[in-house]
Structure 1
Amino acid sequence: MTISVIGAGSWGTALALLIARNGHQVLLWGHHPEHIANLGRDRCNKRYLPEAPFPETLQVTADLGEAVEQCELALVSVPSHAFRATLMAMHPAMPDSAGLAWATKGLEKTSGRLLSDVVTDIMGADRPAAVLSGPTFASEVAAGKPTAITVASRQTDMAAKTAALLHNKYFRAYTTSDIVGVQLGGATKNVLAIAAGMADGLGFGANARAALITRGLAELLRLGLAMGGRMETLMGLAGVGDLLLTCTDNQSRNRRFGLGLGQGLSREEVTAQIGQEIEGATAASIIYKLACEKGIEMPITEQVYRILNEGMTPAEAVDNLLLREPKPEMAQGMA
């Protein structure tokens, strides 16, 4: 197949490598011409994945029209704030028969809507569409280390087609029709990873981290189920699996962001240190607003929101969480 990967950051490059190694022709697009020129010259992404050379089946372009005009499937991996604009730019050149998949984890910043709703707005309800999410760090995928992911689509054949593009002996792709649960798991876990990082930055240790992840999972379940996601999805790779990964390993930008905040750095300082998009910082406001609108209790998410938007310190946020009234722990994280 001819596949376009839209977004030449670490995750987009890793996915392009994976698909190209699986024998498909891949065209990787990025919006910075200088960056793309470097990729073409170096035949690797020296900035993000310097140890992963490009196979011959992977080419690059800074021309978005060229990237999508002959593709059979376009896989979008851009930050959530750029998702709508990127799709709008792609749409005029994209063949009507081409499928669309995305690996962006987040919600639309301006509206709080699921990215699947944005896809329908721009590409139409009949466009085959799929989202992929799970516990996957780009560097490990690029290095060929084993992992597994969930591909969700309302069209069974689109889910199977997208999974087949990715699946190989070190990358296992499962399918589901639960497009809502997969998207909410991917967005919410980033906020909770910031909280886990802050707890470690404050020096609270393994006990606190485990408790925070467990109670964070309860929040993810409450929101996901209220929005129409399914329990098996939220307790699977795109939910608890991704939550565990991003809360416990410093390859996670969101966790490192929280670590910096917990160690006393300002939001601006830690963002500059990381030098990449921190999706959880954007998602915190969106998810907190959704929780308020639906009357869902998400105390960890609320404290992350208040730290990022109201000047609360991480230490004050911890006090707020610990001073909450004792209550029963209900089955399946519904308390």
Structure 2
Amino acid sequence: MGIILAWYANKIGHGVMLWGREASRNYQDFVHKRTNEYLRLPEDIRLTNEIGDAIQFADVILIAISAQELRGFAKQLNSIQIANKTFVLCMKGLEMESGKRLSQVFNEEIQPPVNLAIWVGPGHVQDFVNDIPNCMVIDSDNIDTTKLLVEGLGSETIRFYYGQDLLGNEIGAAAKNVIGIAAGMLDGLGYASLKGALMARGTKEIARLVRTMGGNEYTVYGLGHLGDYEATVFSKHSHNRRFGEALVRKERFEKLAEGAATVKALLRLSSDYNVIPSFRKETIQKSN
């Protein structure tokens, strides 16, 4: 995802430096060939394996790494001058062991004051590189940060909407990956017609969780959750849907599926906030 973000920001006129770990095969492919299976990077996008150089280069830093690596990554940033910079979390997940939202994880580890936002919503790399447009969401606790990013990143390819519920959009975006895995499992089992029930009931359950946690339950019915997983559950491109399908077919799946870790985090939140899925409550009541 980091590659497409760099490509997109460059495409709409921003100066871009792309950071990657030196040992990463993906990073080395771009150093030597400037291409991967999805796209070719323009020559004016600079590449670096020095995180300090990338941070100092930009006023706005887009982060697209595995959600489970965010805490360790954020700790590294404290040795760099980052005060008053704007960070945008572009991945969708929850910290597996704690169940914490990614904005919470980031803020817990960052010491200087920074601006923080999230970028969520439907869209796949394969579509964006072919100029197939979509709608997405920027959300932040600071409306000025939201406005800055919506105005600076919007284009004919991506229309951004103003998020007004950071908690709801983060939980919803993370949960859509879990729904995606479930949809893939249905595909693998030959039960694709059950996707309607999955989407309807899944949305309801996540809305209950968001409301109990203090967010706006109606956020779940927007682009950050329902809009995103409607794209996910029917997409041939979705890693999470493909992971679920491979899982029930007992096939190997090599790419990142964030929903696999998010399942555990959601179960923890369900327990912590005493939000038991409706089917489990019904089963408990009948057994009693």
TM-score, normalisation: structure 2? 0.91
Question: Matches of residues 183-198 of structure 1 in structure 2 within 5 Å?
Answer: 183-198=170-185
Which of 194, 207, 218 matches 2:204? 218
Match of 1:78 in 2: 65
List gaps (5 residues or longer) in structure 2: none
The amino acid of 2:143's aligned partner reads T
Which of 39, 62, 69 matches 2:56? 69
Match of 1:41 in 2: 32
Secondary structure at 2:53 match in 1: helix
Q: Aligned-pair distance for 1:125?
A: 7.7
The amino acid of 2:15's aligned partner reads Q
Question: Matches of residues 92-131 of structure 1 in structure 2 within 5 Å?
Answer: 92-124=79-111, 126-131=113-118
Question: Matches of residues 1-335 of structure 1 in structure 2 within 5 Å?
Answer: 11-33=1-23, 34-44=25-35, 46=36, 48-49=37-38, 52-124=39-111, 126-206=113-193, 208-263=194-249, 265=250, 269-270=251-252, 273=253, 275-298=254-277, 324=283
Cα distance in 2 for residues equivalent to 1:35 and 1:13: 9
Q: Aligned-pair distance for 1:63?
A: 1.3
CA deviations over 1:166-192 (Å, ceiling 9, x no partner): 210121111123111111011111111
CA deviations over 1:36-62 (Å, ceiling 9, x no partner): 232033222x1x41xx22224312111
Distance 1:115 1:170, change over 3 A: same
Q: Is the 8 A contact 1:70 1:94 kept in 2?
A: no
Cα distance in 2 for residues equivalent to 1:96 and 1:161: 17
Q: Is the 8 A contact 1:200 1:262 kept in 2?
A: no
Q: Is the 8 A contact 1:189 1:220 kept in 2?
A: no
Question: Which range is displaced more, 194-203 or 35-44?
Answer: 35-44
Q: Is the 8 A contact 1:80 1:108 kept in 2?
A: yes
Cα distance in 2 for residues equivalent to 1:17 and 1:165: 15
Secondary structure at 1:25 match in 2: coil
Cα distance in 2 for residues equivalent to 1:235 and 1:90: 35
Q: Aligned-pair distance for 1:193?
A: 1.3
Q: Is the 8 A contact 1:150 1:238 kept in 2?
A: yes
Distance 1:141 1:276, change over 3 A: same
Q: Is the 8 A contact 1:181 1:233 kept in 2?
A: yes
Q: Is the 8 A contact 2:183 2:192 kept in 1?
A: no
Q: Is the 8 A contact 1:185 1:220 kept in 2?
A: yes
Cα distance in 2 for residues equivalent to 1:174 and 1:108: 26
Match of 1:318 in 2: none
Q: Aligned-pair distance for 1:325?
A: 8.4
Number of equivalent positions: 285
TM-score, normalisation: structure 1? 0.79
Q: Aligned-pair distance for 1:214?
A: 1.0
Q: Is the 8 A contact 1:150 1:176 kept in 2?
A: yes
Q: Aligned-pair distance for 1:232?
A: 3.6
The amino acid of 2:258's aligned partner reads E
- Same amino acid, percent of matched pairs: 28
Q: Is the 8 A contact 1:71 1:94 kept in 2?
A: no
Cα distance in 2 for residues equivalent to 1:182 and 1:84: 20
Cα distance in 2 for residues equivalent to 1:139 and 1:124: 37
RMSD of Structure 2 on Structure 1 (CA): 2.3
CA deviations over 1:118-170 (Å, ceiling 9, x no partner): 12112248311100100111221232210111000111111112222321012
Cα distance in 1 for residues equivalent to 2:278 and 2:16: 43
Secondary structure at 2:28 match in 1: helix
Q: Is the 8 A contact 2:97 2:264 kept in 1?
A: no
Q: Which has the higher contact order (CA 8 A, sep 6+)?
A: 2
Cα distance in 1 for residues equivalent to 2:50 and 2:136: 29
Q: Aligned-pair distance for 1:70?
A: 2.9
Q: Aligned-pair distance for 1:15?
A: 0.9
Q: Aligned-pair distance for 1:245?
A: 1.4
Distance 1:214 1:125, change over 3 A: farther
